[in-house]
Structure formats: structure tokens, C-alpha cells
Structure 1
């Protein structure tokens, strides 16, 4: 068997080369498909990124050079996809007014306002209507189409006539004939099936009810086709027009709306803005709102103080309890330690959503086990301080097994001769624990305590499942007494009356900076413990 010359890599077996090129080909095909879909959606940034990834894969894996990159590239791509890109997107969103009513571009908002203003014309034509999406796409995000039918004239011909019904497809581009080949009609004359389309059931269409109500098929002369009921559509005319030169919207009764802060607002200052706005850059407005708006500022400061106390008390209490139990079960005289240790880690093994819901039931003032057993009548989840205590108690139950495990491992790694030496020098058990065991223990668990602090700083699951952030003050229903900054940001983004994702992104950036600064300080302190060695 011939061998490769010294200094040159050995030739790979043919099957390895075949598998390699097959994987490269599959990756390039996947990138091509993603780029094609991005082109259809008009997202040229994604097209550029996908093209760069495809080129990087081809350059790195199709040659024998860049051995290091062959191992680093997958990790770099995943790091960019799941870490760098979400951070960059959050930062970009924090400087916009993106949220409910401000999720479109200005052009899309103008079209939506005009579509919403369509009103039926006298004696306007009626169509049988089916809501459809392109075949194979996701119902929640796909572009809508109206599959329309109306009785055909007696002398009507063409390939879009079926069983006396004239067929059309309406999109944002306009109204076009729908070829009858492959189309089936329901008993009420509406279209049940059509090639290249997925016809939505009434339940599925109801999931997109708002989009269906806003959707209009544009016709010549400012007219359009809009949904009247779940199965009927009408021809109407827009009652609001846009003047591109003046950048204004004018209603049929002559009221003028001007563009201001991502909305069209009345020029005379009287009345509400038009219902649909657009996304635009607002600079530092979201950040200044947090510290200048009285309701947000007071709520933010209260949440921030609790957000500092909660992880500090949680980490401290779980560490102390876990360490004491670890010291107890590290005593060689204790029998059956394996069974006891297995039982103690059960709270850590149970899913948090199960444990949190069980504790919420136990904290119920009227029927909860805690009040029944203790004879108390505390409103655990309705009183601010009682709710905070309930959160800390529950987190102590959830967190001490983790501290017990890491302290047990750290204690078993401490050499026994160190303790024996301290005993010979006359140190008692307490002195040995404070001066010998604790410093050596903190060397091992110090970084884990910092990580546990960072985790509890953003412990969304416990707060959301146990208290929902409440109880809430009557003066401000957005700020709860057990809210963390992360649950506050979630409420602003998704659960408030007017979700503001831009403002929630600004809060998220502040959380990121705070956690980063506190973690840095904590790791600096834990690094100093290494001098003990």
C-alpha cells in the first residue's frame, strides 16, 4: 500500500469524498432555496447573508486549506444566527416605534388605510368569496388571496367559467381570471379547491380575521373588492385618498390628516389618528421614556430594586441551605447518604412549570395548603410583600438542590489533610469551616454563584407562572410588585393594551448591560478567590 509523502496529508477514501461533496451540495441547495424565498419576499439583506454563507461553505470545505476554519465555521455561523443577530436586531428595534399599529412601512400603511376605507357602492356587484393562501405556506404569515365567483352572463365564455360561475382571483396586485381547470365549487357557489392555492376553512380564515377585514383587491378608479361576510365580498370605493406631494390623507368629508410620529393625525388637532401607522426611527425616545415618563420611571426603579434583591437573596439563601446540607451529608459517620442525596435533588429534577403551578396553588389564601397547615390567613399572592416572600420561598425550594450538588462535589475535592492540619493547629469545627473549608469551597463555586445570580436576574419562568408579576397597583396596571425587568419587558411587548416592542427592546438592552456589568464585577471578585490556592 502506497503512503503519502512525509508532510502531505493522506488521500481520503472515495466514500469520504462522496459524502463530503454530497453534504456541500445539499448545503448549497438549501442556501439557494432560502435565497429564492428571500428574493420573493424582497429581503435583499437575507439574500446577501445567505450568499455569503454559501460562498464560505464552498471556499472552506471544497479545498484542503483552512483546516482551522473547517472546525470553526459551523460554530461561527450558529453564534451569528442565535446570538449576534438577535442582539443586533433587538438593538435596531430599540430605536424605532415598532409595535402594535406600527409594524408596516409607510407605503404599506398608506395602502392599508385606503383599503380599510373602502365602502360599498350603490348597487355594487357581489361575489362569492373564499379566502386562500399560496399552497404549502404557513397560514399565520402567508399572503392572502380572495378566490371569487359570480354568476356568468349567458353569452360568457372563456376558460374561467365553471358551472355558470365566472371565476377570479384577487390579490394585492389586482383582479385576474382564474382558470377553471382543477377548480371545484361548493354548493353555495364559492370555490372549494383551486390549483396552487390552499383554501382556508372558516375557522382558519377566522385566525386571520383582522387581515381579511383589512385586505382589499384594488380595481381601477380607486375601487376595490372587500370581504362583506365569511363567504361574500362586495365592490366598494375608497373614501380616503393620499396626496404624495403634500404627504397627507384626505377623507371623503374633506378632513385632512398629516404625517406625524408614525401616524396620520388630524391637521386641525381634533379627533384620533388614522388606525394604521408605520415603523420609523425614533432615536433615543424609548430610552428617555423609561427615565422621564413618570409612570414608567417610578415603575422601572421599583422593579430594578426588586430585581437586585431577588437574585441576591435567592443565591444567598439557596447557597447557605445547600452548603449546610452538603456539609451534613459529607460526614463519613452518616449512613445511607446516597438515598438522602437522591431525595434532596428531586425538586431540581421536576420541571419548573409544574413546581411553580403547584406552589401557586399551595399559596392560595382560601384553599392553599400553607395557610391550612400553619393556621395563618395571609394573602400570599395578593399582598406585595407576601407575594415577594412567596417567590423567594418557592425559589429556595427550586434552587437549593443545585447548590447542594455543587457544594457536595466541591467539598469532596478538598484534601482531608488540610482539615487535619487545621485540627492539629488547634482550630475547632467552626474555625475550620470559616478559615479553611469556606475559602476553598468558594474557589470552586464562586463562578457558579455569579452564573446563578445572572440566571435569577432574568428568571422569567418562575415569576410568570407563580405570580404573573402581580399583585398590581391600582395606579399602574403595567408594573407588578414581583415583576422582574424581563417580565416587565414581556408585558410591554405582548400583553399591554398597546404593545410597544421598541420600548420593550430598550428595556432588554438595559437588562443586558446591567447583567453584563454585575457579572463582570462578580467574576472579578471570584477571580480574587483563586489566590487562596
Structure 2
């Protein structure tokens, strides 16, 4: 007699486990939504709020019913594709039509608060506060002030974006006339305040149209009068000490406060659309266009040179060690894979020391005195040599696998037809090998076209011309974009985004051309 109770019991156990997992998963999603949605509303991040709501709705629609079964498997991959690939592309394209950068990241009101707040001066009899500085993350800011009035003992809080307001009693703990704890904030120690005093001193907490609070020392703040005051009716800033008036004007395709001569008066502006100005600057500004073309030319040379040299060396070694007459082939192959086993980050830093002009290993062993990293030409040679050392093991592995997949009777047939070993390799083996590895060569070219680490860790993009920090002698396009966005002259994310969009289009066109070219190899089969 057959016992059917065990399979039924296992089926019930499986169903119960699946139900518990589903409940835990959906509960976690709901909890995350309850926590995240109010936060996004407070930050006025409407795009991410919409995305979050749609995602949560889709999860509950898919996983609480027995419909849309294919969608249950497609959704996770689609979700991560949208979050990590499509969304960054959309945001980059969006920023390329703005002036987003240092001094133009917030709203117009935030810019006005910053401009007028930075003009605060102390006056006799001004209020003094015991100051505690808090952050919600990194010590580098943004900063929130927690203030206790030294005369009344009342507690207040505020930041560059949030005007001064009383603190809720349960939100902070006060000891000896100072805020010692604040819900949701990490409070900086006096030493940390001193370390970041320059950044904190830029924070001005608005009290009203004419006064603001600024830091005096690591534990004290003062309420002072704004020398620069904003006239909302006339949309202008007035210097109350000199009577000078600053109005809104257009400077370089964006709006900013200007003086009587139409020149930009303050470094602060506000986030605004500039249309195609960033693209126009790239293609019409002679200095910028020349740098872009030089970077593009070197990028092509670097990417193509890296692929050609690594493939040539990898193929040569693979052909040599594919000969069955060589003893110890496995040992030799293991040694050749060692450069591939060393993390690229470490290898690049080590090689940068090898190229030191005075103490580097290369100059000491060869007796040369080449300024490898100080001369633009030699620096390019150093990058190609280093990339060759790091990249040939990969090509060696690929070529070895492709050679072993070619039938031996093909070689025998070539020899019977009278072909020499060289002719067999060039006219028979190599074309068959290219059929299988051509897509990998295309992928390697695309990787090196955007190989930021090889440039930044080895040469830092240098050497740099005098008084020029936008592009160094070895900067490829991607490292040039990095220098524009985070360079010493100030971040210009809008323009960097425009260059990134152009770079994305160029990479796509080159990849499409290469894949089209590799189709001709299919006829070899």
C-alpha cells in the first residue's frame, strides 16, 4: 500500500515556507516605503518619490496575485537595470542642459540666503549662542547648528537652508547650557569643528531679512546684521553700507546677480536650465574644443594600442605554448597568469613607483635617466607599457582557449596542401581564432576607451601644462570629464555631463562600427 502522506506533508511545508517568505518580503518592502516616502517628500525629490511609489505598487501587484507570472521573474532584472543604468543616463542627460556645479546647486532663494548670510557682521549687544554643530552623515557636511541662547537658555536650530527656529523639547538633550544629543544627528567634537572651521564658517542661519547667525569659534555663535539685504519687490540685493545695488542679469548663458557694469557680483548662482549652451561651449569654444580633440585622439591611440599590443603578445605566447613538444607548459602558463592575479589598483600604484625618474626600478636597472611621468610623450609610453603588462594575460587565456577549440585536422589539411607552419598560422589558424575572440576584442576596446583607473592611478592625468588643470598630457576623455567635474578650478557638473553624453555617443558609434566589421569574419566558417 502506497503512503501518500509524506509527499503531501512536504508539499504543505513548502507552501508554508513560501508564504512566510512572501509575507516577510512584502512586509520589508512596505516598511521601506513607509520610511522612505516621507523622507523623499521632505526633500522634495519628486522624481524618486514617483519611482518609489510605482516600484512598490508593481511589487505588490506582481507578488500578491497569481497573475503576471512571467513578470515575477522579469521584474528584478528590470528594476536593477532601471536603477543602475537607465536612471543615471537620464539624469546625466538632464544635467547636461543645466548649469549645475559649484555655486549653482540650489534654488534662487538658497543662493540669496547664502549671499546675504555671508555678509553678516557683529554689532554691539548682539545675541550670543552656545554652539553645537551636527551632521546627518559625513563630517564634511552639510551642517546644522544647535544653539542655546546664553541669556535666556532657549534652544534653537537651523542650517544654511533652514531658517532659525525653536527646537522641540524631546528632540535634543541639553547639559550645562549646551546641546549634547540631537535625534537623527551626529554632533561634531570641538576638534572636528576646528578641522572644518572654514566650511562651517560659510554657514549662515537666517533669522529674518536683516539678521543671521554665524559661527564665532568652535563653541560659540553670534547673531549679526546683514550688510547685503535682499529687496524682494525689486528682485535685487542692496549693500546697506555703500548703497550699491545688484540686479539679476545674464552672465555666460545663466542668470546671476550683477553689478552696475553687468559683471557677475557673487560666486553664487542657482540651478537653472541653459539649453544647449554646454554643448555649444564644447563645439564652438576654440580652447575647449582643442582640448577635447586632443583627448579624443589620445583616447583612440590608448584604447587601440592597448588592444593591439596585448592581443599580439597574448597570441604569440599562446601559439608558442600550444606546441605539444614543449615540456612544462602548465608551469609556464601559470607564471604568465601572475600579472592577471595582482589587483589592478595595486599593480598601477607599484608601476607608478617604477617610473620614478631618480629612484625608479626601470631607470636604475637600465642606467637611463628618462623622465617617464614628467614628459608627455614618455608618460604615454609608460601607460601603454603598463597596460600591456596588465592586459596580456587575459588575451593569453582567451587565445589559448580558442586555439584548443580549433580541430587538429584543420592544421593537418593545411600541411597536406603544402602550407608552411607560418602560412598555416597566418592564413588558417588566425582567421578561425578571430571568429571567436573578435567580440572580446571589441569589448576590450570599449573597456580601455573608458579605462579611468589606468590613467588616474599611474599618472594622475599629468603632466599638466602651466596654469592648466582641465586636461593633462595623458588624460583620456573619461579622466578629462572627471577633472572638469571635480577639478581644482571648481566643479562644473553641467558641462561635464554634456561631455559625458558626447562620450557615450562616440563609444556607442565605435562599438557599433566594430561589431559591424566583425560580421565579415563570420564568412570564415
Normalising by structure 1, we get a TM-score of 0.90
1:425 deviates by 0.8
1:525 deviates by 1.3
Give yes or no for the alignment of 1:350 onto 2:337: no
Q: 2:299 aligns to what?
A: 307
1:174 deviates by 2.5
1:380 deviates by 1.0
Matching of residues 111-190 of structure 1 within 5 Å: 111-133=113-135, 139-140=139-140, 144-152=144-152, 166-171=153-158, 172-176=162-166, 179=169, 183-186=173-176, 189-190=177-178
Contact 2:383 2:458 in 1 (8 A): yes
Matching of residues 233-382 of structure 1 within 5 Å: 233-252=221-240, 253-259=242-248, 260-261=250-251, 262=254, 264-269=256-261, 273-382=265-374
Contact 2:469 2:489 in 1 (8 A): no
Contact 1:258 1:266 in 2 (8 A): yes
Residue by residue, what CA displacement relative to the aligned partner does 1:474-525 show, whole Å, maximum 9, x if unpaired? 3634221111000100011112312211111111111111111111111111
Give yes or no for the alignment of 1:218 onto 2:206: yes
Output the CA distance in 2 between the equivalents of 1:500 and 1:352. 29
Matching of residues 312-461 of structure 1 within 5 Å: 312-461=304-453
Contact 1:190 1:231 in 2 (8 A): no
Contact 2:469 2:487 in 1 (8 A): no
1:120 deviates by 1.5
> Unaligned 5+ residue runs, structure 2?
6-10
Contact 1:132 1:146 in 2 (8 A): yes
Contact 2:129 2:147 in 1 (8 A): no
Distance 1:244 1:220, change over 3 A: closer
Output the CA distance in 2 between the equivalents of 1:481 and 1:66. 55
Contact 2:204 2:212 in 1 (8 A): yes
Match of 1:250, SS state, is strand
Match of 1:314, SS state, is helix
1:76 deviates by 0.5
Output the CA distance in 2 between the equivalents of 1:387 and 1:299. 18
Output the CA distance in 2 between the equivalents of 1:401 and 1:38. 48
Residue by residue, what CA displacement relative to the aligned partner does 1:201-224 show, whole Å, maximum 9, x if unpaired? 124445664553233333356222
Distance 1:169 1:363, change over 3 A: same
Output the CA distance in 2 between the equivalents of 1:66 and 1:221. 57
Number of paired residues? 512
Residue by residue, what CA displacement relative to the aligned partner does 1:49-106 show, whole Å, maximum 9, x if unpaired? 1110010001111111111111110111100000001111111111111111111111
Among 487, 509, 515, the alignment partner of 1:517 is 509
Contact 1:213 1:226 in 2 (8 A): yes
Contact 1:363 1:371 in 2 (8 A): yes
1:185 deviates by 2.6
Q: 2:97 aligns to what?
A: 95
1:470 deviates by 1.1
Output the CA distance in 1 between the equivalents of 2:294 and 2:261. 36
Output the CA distance in 1 between the equivalents of 2:373 and 2:134. 47
Contact 1:175 1:217 in 2 (8 A): no
Residue by residue, what CA displacement relative to the aligned partner does 1:447-474 show, whole Å, maximum 9, x if unpaired? 0000000011111101101111111223
Distance 1:63 1:179, change over 3 A: closer
Output the CA distance in 1 between the equivalents of 2:246 and 2:382. 52
Output the CA distance in 1 between the equivalents of 2:218 and 2:255. 30
Match of 2:234, SS state, is coil
Normalising by structure 2, we get a TM-score of 0.92
